[in-house]
Amino acid sequence: MNFKFQDMKNFLIKIFYSVIPVVVLAFLTFACEPDEEDLAPMRMFTPAGSINSTTGVSQVKLTWNPSLYTTAASGVTYTVEVAADTLFETPVIVSVETDTAGVVFTDDQLEVRKNYFARIKANALGDRPESNWVVSNSFRIRGEQIMLPIYGPDVKATRATLRWRVAPGLTRIVLQPLEGDAIEVPVTEEALATGRMTVEGLQPNTFYSVEIYAGNKSRGFTSFTTKMQASYTVTLTPADDLQAALDNAADGDVIGLEPGEYTISETAEITGKTITIASVSGNPADTKVNFKEFELNGDGAGVKLSGIDFDGDAEGADYLFNITGDAATFTNFVIENSIVRNVDNTILRGNRGSKNDYKVDTIRIDNSLIYNVGEGNYNFILLDEMEFKSLELTNSTFHNFGRQFISWASNLSGVATPRIIIDNSTLNYFGYRNYPLLDANENVVNFTMQNSIMANAPQPGETLNNSLIRANSSSPMMVSYNNFFKLINGNGEAMTFPDYVTLINNTATDLGWGISTTDFTLPADSPLRTASTTGGVVGDPRWLY
C-alpha cells in the first residue's frame, strides 16, 4: 500500500497526541507515590488475625499474629487488657504489656471457670501511632477438679455428703443456692484426712453449686439438688401388712417403710392409680421387700420404688413390673436408689397387648443396683408392642441380666420417636440373643449411650452376630466416652456398632472383670475415673468410692 508523505505525517501526529497523555499520567502517578518508609507511619499495624486461647487447669495462654510490617527486632510491644464483658464496659481486671505475640494469665490473676474477654493493641513505635484494639472471643481457665461426682443416695432433703480426692491445704467449702446467701463451711481436720464431709441445714428441693477452696484458690466444683421433704400418706413397720396397704392405697399415695423386712407373697395389683413405695431411711441396705410381682393395668397406673432392696428369690418373682389388661395409658415406672435382684424373667414386661395398646411416658432407673434377672429366657426390659416416650438408665449397675438389655423389636407405626439414654452405668455379663444391647428392629429411636462401661457379652456358650444394636438406620444414635471390653460374638470376633451409630472417644481398657465379678470398683489409678464427658468417672459412680 502506498502512502503520501502528508498522510504519514498526519498519522504520526495522531499517535504522538494519543500517547503523551498516558505518559504524563503515568509520570504524575509515579511522582505522587510515597516511599514505603513514608507510608508506614500512616498504616494501621493492628495485630493481624484472630486471638487464640489455650486453656489449662491453672492458666490460659492467648496468642495472636504479630502486627504487619513488624519483626521481633523492631521493638514492637502490645498492651493486653482483660474484662468480664466483650464491650469492656466493666472495669479492666488486669492489664499487661508484652514484647511477644502472646501472653499467659494464671489463676492468681483471673478466677477459674469464669468467662473473660481480652483486647489487644500494638503500642506506638517511633513515628507509628498505636493500633486499634482487637477483641477476643470468650476464654476461661479450666480450673482444678478434685471434687468427686455426687453420689445420688448421699443427697437428702436437708443434707448432702460431699467427696473429693484427698489434697493438702483445703480450707473451706462454699455452697451457693440459686437464690439467697451462700453457705460457707470450714473443712475440718477429719474431712481433710478422709476427703468427705456431710453438710447439714440445707433447704429441700434446692439447687446448690459447690466449690472447695484452699485459701482463695478454687480446687474443685460440683452441684446437686436436694430432695423434696418426704411426706408419707401412711408409714408402715415390718409388723404391718404391706400387701393390704397396696390394695387400699389411693392414686398418688406414698407408702413409707420403716427399716426392716417386708413380704408381698401374692401379686400386687395396681389398677388405675400411681403409688410410691419408699424407705423412710432412704437406705436400701436396711429396708428389704420380698416380692412376687407388681401387676399394672388401667389408665393412670404407675409406680415408683425408692430406697428399698427388692428381692424376688423367696417368693419366686417372675417380673418386677408386669403390664396387663386392656389398652391403657400409664404414667411412669421408676426405680431409684434401690436394689432389685433375683427376677426370673424381666424387670418390665410390656408386650402382652396388641401393637400400640400400651403407652407410657417415662421408664427410669437411677442410682440402682440390679442383678440376676432374665434366667427364664427373657429380655431385661421388654417393650415390644408398647409405646413409650423416654427410657432413662442412669448411674446404675446391671449384672447378669438376660438375653437382651432392651427389646423394642415389634415394628410400630404412627409413634413418636422415643428417647433412650444410658448414662454413667455399668453393664456386665449378659446376652444370648442377637443385638444384645438394643433391638429396635426398624423403629426409629433417639439413642444415647455415654460415660458407661459394658463388658462380657455374650454369656458363655452363646454365638451371636457381630452387631450390638439394631434400629432404623435413620435413627440419631450417639455412643461416646464409654469403655467396652470382652464383647466377643462367640466365634472370636469383636461385637461392634453398625455404621449409622456415631462413635466418639470410646476406649477398650480391660478391667479384668469376668462373669462372676460383683465388685466393679475402679482401680485407684484408672484413667476411667476422670474420662467422662464432664471429666468425672466412667461407669456407675458408686464404684468410685
Do the domains 234-544 and 152-225 match in fold?
no
List of residues 6+ apart from 543 with CB closer than 8 A: 397, 426, 519, 520, 521, 522, 537
Question: How many Å apart are CA 249 and CA 148, to the nearest integer?
Answer: 40
Nearest to 118, CA basis, from 22, 71, 52, 67: 52
Please state the φ and ψ torsions of residue 504, each to the nearest 5 degrees. Answer: -140, 125
pLDDT number for residue 7: 52
Which of the following CATH numbers is that of domain 40-135: 1.10.4010.10, 3.30.1490.20, 3.30.56.10, 2.60.40.10? 2.60.40.10
The string of DSSP codes covering 2-46 is ---HHHHHHHHHHHHHHHHHHHHHHHHHHHHPPPHHHHGGGS--P
> Which tens digit of pLDDT belongs to each residue from 198-256?
999 999 999 999 999 999 899 999 999 999 898 999 999 999 999 999 999 999 999 99
Sketch the domain layout of the chain as residue ranges: 5-31, 40-135, 152-225, 234-544
C-alpha cell at 290: 420380698
CA dist., res. 422 & res. 392, Å (int) = 6
How high is the pLDDT of residue 73? Answer: 58
Q: What pLDDT, on a 0 to 100 scale, did the predictor assign at position 71? A: 60
pTM: 0.78
Q: Other C-beta atoms within 10 Å of 462: how many?
A: 14
How far apart are the C-alpha atoms of 327 and 118, rounded to whole Å?
62
CATH superfamily of 152-225: Immunoglobulins (2.60.40.10)
| 280, 339, 403, 405, 410 from 373: Cα distances, Å | 27, 12, 10, 10, 22
**274, 332 in Cβ contact below 8 A?**
yes
Is the confidence at residue 141, as pLDDT, over 90? yes
For residue 10, name the pLDDT band (cuts at 50, 70, 90). low
Q: Report, as an integer, the average pLDDT of 129-149.
A: 90
User: Quick one: what percent of the chain has pLDDT higher than 70?
Assistant: 91
Mean pLDDT of 389-396: 97
Residue 35 predicted with pLDDT over 50: no
Is a pLDDT exceeding 50 seen at residue 338?
A: yes
345 vs 73, residue with greater confidence: 345
Cell of 389: 416416650
Q: Are strands 117-122 and 134-135 parallel, antiparallel or unpaired?
A: antiparallel
How high is the pLDDT of residue 356? 92
Eight-state DSSP code of residue 116: B
Lowest-pLDDT range of 17-21, 350-354, 518-522: 17-21
What's the whole-number mean pLDDT along residues 311-331?
97
Question: Given pLDDT bands bounded at 50, 70 and 90, which one contains residue 151?
Answer: confident
Tens digit of each residue's pLDDT (9 = 90 or more) over 230-244: 899 999 999 999 999
Q: What is the pLDDT of residues 503-517, one digit of tens each?
A: 999 999 999 999 999
Tell me what the pLDDT averaged over the chain comes to.
Answer: 90
> In this predicted structure, what is the pLDDT of residue 14?
53
Beta strands in 56-159 (DSSP E): 59-65, 78-83, 94-98, 102-106, 117-122, 134-135
Using one digit for the tens of pLDDT, what is the confidence trace for 45-57? 678 778 999 999 8
Among 513, 512, 538, residue whose Cα is nearest residue 527: 538
DSSP annotation of 452 reads -
- Residue 159 has a pLDDT of 95
CATH classification for the domain delimited by 234-544, as one of 1.10.1200, 2.160.20, 2.40.128, 1.10.10: 2.160.20
